Amino acid sequence: MRGLIRGGGGAARDLRVDFFRGLALWFIFIDHIPGNRLGDFTLRNIAFCDATEAFVLLAGYAAGMAYGAALDRRGWLFGGAALLRRAATLYVAHIFLFVVFAAQVGYSAALLDSPAYLDELQLDPFREQPYHALLQALLLRYQPAFLDILPLYIALLAMLAPALPLLRQPVLLLGLSGLLYVLARLLGLNMPNWIDGGWFFNPFAWQFLFFIGCTLGYAPRLAGGGRAPAPAVPFRRDLAAASVLVLLLGAAAMLIPFHAPEWLALVPESLGLLLTTIDKGALHPFRLLSILALAYLVGHAVPPGAAWVQARAAAPFVLMGQHGLPVFCFGIFLSFLGRLALEQSDRGVMQFAVNSGGLAALVAVGAIAAWYREGGDRKAATGAPRTVGLPAAAPSSTTPA
């Protein structure tokens, strides 16, 4: 399996990003299955952030690294065109995913006489107005549950295309991005949605986290032809302590209501109201702060080239992270099958089968994608012509709740 991993330990690829992206993909699969007991141990239950924020930040990091390098090598026009090409690929994948997922859920609802599936996953408009719903899906104005993350990533890549030169001016880029984030939250700026008025994941808010990742991933080109190290926030004890405090407060807020509800009486009413209004769709500042605190601590705890990230045990997650698009899409189908299985029996044996089998299937998809890529590499090695492309940033994905 390790032979299928791209860039093992090389300077051009940060395997930490691939590993944690693969781990987030597994968390997404777990969190998408109602009644999955393993879901009690994923990030969303112990912090104000979850795999959504982790994936968007890592996607930004990978995009800054890949398309920033294209900007320096070939210029803005080439880098922007590569971004739009990637966005077009994601659009095709999203439409394919929409059609197949709608068919999967619709067939299951009819076979099991359970129309509640359609209502819960927001597919009932597709049953009632199929042609109109399909048109709205093509326009990205109709996004059922679980199918709202790829449109977000498409929008983020489209925003990065005109802003690509600003990677060389990170203060200006983050200033403009932060201003748009504030305006999106204060004024309710959002993309239109056919059903609910706006996208669940507001791209004008989430772009701030994405562009933070971009600035961290971009490594400027040096005059001699090499690349400077990517920027990093230096380690400081006060920042580390503040990050730990943020995560502890988040963990307490998430765990106390379930494990010590009597303590809620001690919480001031104003604080309780604040904690119940931490929204995900417009990336509440507490969620933004939580993922940045987690990234700061993990980034310093796991240095580049860490031996355990290159070890055999980490290889399945690295492999999934390097092939995020097919793994994510297959995980959406697989999570609904896992739900159907747990509705038949939620005992320990079935729980183990669903989670371990799901992980094995996701790793297998990553391995197949890697094998297909290796075929192209071998063809190039024999002298056959090969188109040189950019490293592709895997799509962010998440749970919609």
pLDDT digits (tens, 9 = 90+) for 175-203: 999 999 999 999 999 999 998 789 999 99
Where are the chain's structural domains?
Answer: 2-381
What is the per-residue burial (b if ≥16 Cβ within 10 Å, else e) of 331-347?
A: bbbbbbbbbbbbeeeee
Instruction: Return the structure tokens found at 95.
Output: 């439409």
CA distances (Å), origin 391, targets 4, 11, 52, 248: 15, 14, 22, 36
Q: For 281-318, how does the pLDDT look when each residue is reduced to its tens digit (9 = 90+)?
A: 999 999 999 999 999 999 999 988 889 999 999 999 99
Please state, as a whole number, how many other Cβ atoms lie within 10 Å of the Cβ of residue 282.
Answer: 21
pLDDT over 70, % of the chain: 83
Residue-level pLDDT at 399? 39
Express the helix, strand and coil content of the chain in percent, nearest 5 each: 70, 0, 30
Q: Residue 134 has what DSSP assignment? A: H
Residue-level pLDDT at 126? 87
Q: Which of 123-127, 346-350, 396-400 has the lowest mean pLDDT?
A: 396-400
Q: For 81-130, how does the pLDDT look when each residue is reduced to its tens digit (9 = 90+)?
A: 999 999 999 999 999 999 999 999 999 999 999 999 999 999 999 888 98
pLDDT over 90, % of the chain: 70
- Alpha helix locations (H) across 129-284? 130-138, 149-163, 170-187, 203-217, 237-259, 269-275
Residue-level pLDDT at 216? 93
Residue-level pLDDT at 342? 96
Where residue 356 falls among pLDDT bands split at 50, 70, 90?
very high
Q: To 10 degrees, what angle do helices 324-344 and 15-31 make?
A: 30
* Dihedral angle computed from the Cα positions of residues 354, 319, 296 and 272, in that order, rounded to the nearest 10 degrees: -20
CB 183 within 8 A of CB 234: no
H/E stretch holding 8: none
Q: What is the mean pLDDT of residues 232-238?
A: 88
Residue-level pLDDT at 394? 40
CA distances (Å), origin 225, targets 74, 77, 221: 13, 20, 6
Q: What is the mean pLDDT of residues 17-28?
A: 94
Residue-level pLDDT at 233? 83
Q: Which of 5-14, 105-114, 244-253, 314-323 has the lowest mean pLDDT?
A: 5-14
Q: Backbone phi, then psi, for 139, in 5-degree steps? A: -90, 0
Instruction: Return the structure tokens found at 358.
Output: 């799901």
Average model confidence (pLDDT) for the chain?
Answer: 87
Name, in order, each residue with C-beta under 8 angstroms of 327's C-beta and a sequence gap of 6 or more.
22, 25, 320, 362, 365, 366, 369
- CA distance linking residue 54 with residue 273, whole number of Å: 26
| Strand intervals (E) in 314-393 | none
Would the pLDDT of 252 be above 70? yes
Q: Name the residue type at position 133.
A: A
Where residue 377 falls among pLDDT bands split at 50, 70, 90?
low
Instruction: Return the structure tokens found at 294.
Output: 């987690």
DSSP string, 370-388: HHHHHHHHHHHHTT-----
Q: Backbone phi, then psi, for 346, in 5-degree steps? A: -110, 20
CA distances (Å), origin 115, targets 46, 106, 131, 211, 280: 33, 8, 20, 40, 27
| Strand intervals (E) in 28-181 | none
Would the pLDDT of 159 be above 80? yes
Residue-level pLDDT at 223? 64
Would the pLDDT of 381 be above 60? no
Where residue 220 falls among pLDDT bands split at 50, 70, 90?
confident
**More confident site: 5 or 393:** 5
Q: For 258-275, how does the pLDDT look when each residue is reduced to its tens digit (9 = 90+)?
A: 666 666 666 666 666 666
Instruction: Return the structure tokens found at 332.
Output: 């959406």
pTM of the model: 0.88
* Dihedral angle computed from the Cα positions of residues 347, 350, 356 and 361, in that order, rounded to the nearest 10 degrees: -150
Q: Name the residue type at position 392.
A: A
Residue-level pLDDT at 378? 60
Residue-level pLDDT at 127? 86
Smallest CA-to-CA distance from 158 within 194, 231, 210, 99 is with 210
Would the pLDDT of 380 be above 60? no
| Strand intervals (E) in 160-219 | none
- CA distance linking residue 242 with residue 256, whole number of Å: 21
- Exposure of 215 in the CB half-sphere (CA atoms within 13 A): 20
- Exposure of 162 in the CB half-sphere (CA atoms within 13 A): 5
- CA distance linking residue 216 with residue 212, whole number of Å: 6
